[in-house]
Amino acid sequence: MTTATLSQPKPRRRQRHWGTYAVWIVMFLMAIVFLMPVYVMVANGLKDAQSVSLQRMWIPPAQLSTDNGFAGAWARLQPNMMNSLLMVIPATILSSFIGAINGYLFAKWKFRGSDIVFTLMLFGFFIPYQSILLPLVRTLQILGVYGTIPGLILVHVIYGIPITTLIFRNYFAGVPTELMDAARVDGAGLITTFTRVMLPLSIPAFVVVGIFQFTNIWNDFLFGVTVVPNPAAQPVTIALNNLSGTFSVEWNVVMAGAVLAALPTAIIYILLGRFFIRGILAGSVKG
């Protein structure tokens, strides 16, 4: 027994060492596979109309000309990128604030049946939106916002309420109630407690919710394609899909367009990845 344990460390350490290399190599190969579609997008987007061909998909662009796919894609998608921005910024801000108030109330001011009300609200996050599209379109037509950016903002704010409420509720549940009590002893009411105590504490939750909503709303396709039939008013995801289905367009333009449509969320991800991951964990309900 003793000799066995004494002689064990040596081979074991070497094994771990080999294991480390193996794990690293596997991760490296996986990373290449994961980046492959990104390479296809960028490399082919940078080619000009003459050098882009199906046979040279995997070959990097020979030279960078000003005539690359990005020039064409920007010219076509720029108005739709603007539409997306005009939609996503107000929708993100509004749904974050509504979520903050709701989350505070559901976490700190529970009333009889509040958990059931909250769960019924949360169900709205999971439903297939196909099951509400028809009455939604009718309602937007009646309200006079069908086919417009304000209409899309309204849609994203309302259907964003469940998830923003959930994330803030989980966040505020972790804030000690004693902090509230101190303010209440000083005579602060329900709303003052929120604005003076809870709101200043909730910056991290705002960042998480903001990123989550920005990504979700920017990446949306279904609402954009059904609520806005006019191509000039459509968000960029729908414009990209139209571009991709147009046979007269060279596919270097399509690939460059995909990069452009991905850019805002990709930048946010690269800069604020930490908060992005927290949003994912918070959005998985039990996180």
Residues 137-176 that bind another protein (CB under 8 A): 139, 158-159, 161-162, 165
Residue 145's alpha-carbon distances to 101, 130, 136, 154, 226, in angstroms, are: 26, 19, 11, 9, 13
Does residue number 83 form part of the binding site for another protein (CB under 8 A)? no
Nearer to another protein, 149 or 253 (CB): 253
Nearest distance, CB of residue 279 and another protein, angstroms? 10
Residue 58's alpha-carbon distances to 61, 228, 260, in angstroms, are: 9, 36, 20
* Stretch of 68-76, 126-134, 143-151, 197-205 contacting another protein, by CB under 8 A: 126-134
- What CA–CA distance (Å, rounded) separates 224 from 234? 6
Does residue number 127 form part of the binding site for another protein (CB under 8 A)? yes
Does residue number 249 form part of the binding site for another protein (CB under 8 A)? no
Cβ–Cβ contacts within 10 Å for residue 90, how many?
17
Does residue number 64 form part of the binding site for another protein (CB under 8 A)? no
Q: Out of 76, 168, 262, 275, name the contact with another protein by CB under 8 A.
A: 262
Nearer to another protein, 12 or 201 (CB): 12
Residue 84's alpha-carbon distances to 89, 105, 139, 231, in angstroms, are: 9, 31, 22, 13
- What CA–CA distance (Å, rounded) separates 160 from 96? 9
Nearer to another protein, 66 or 190 (CB): 190
Amino acid at 246: T
* Stretch of 20-28, 72-80, 85-93, 196-204 contacting another protein, by CB under 8 A: 20-28
Does residue number 231 form part of the binding site for another protein (CB under 8 A)? no
* Stretch of 70-78, 86-94, 143-151, 269-277 contacting another protein, by CB under 8 A: 269-277
CB-based contact 200:124 (threshold 8 Å)? no
Interface map 86-125 toward another protein (x if CB under 8 A): ------------x--xx--xx--x-x---xxx-xxxxxx-
Q: Out of 51, 65, 148, 244, name the contact with another protein by CB under 8 A.
A: 244
CB-based contact 53:70 (threshold 8 Å)? no
- What CA–CA distance (Å, rounded) separates 209 from 146? 27
- What CA–CA distance (Å, rounded) separates 124 from 102? 15
Nearest distance, CB of residue 143 and another protein, angstroms? 12
Which residues inside 175-204 make contact with another protein, applying CB under 8 A? 181, 184-185, 187, 189-191
Does residue number 247 form part of the binding site for another protein (CB under 8 A)? no
Beta-bridged to residue 48, according to DSSP, are: 68
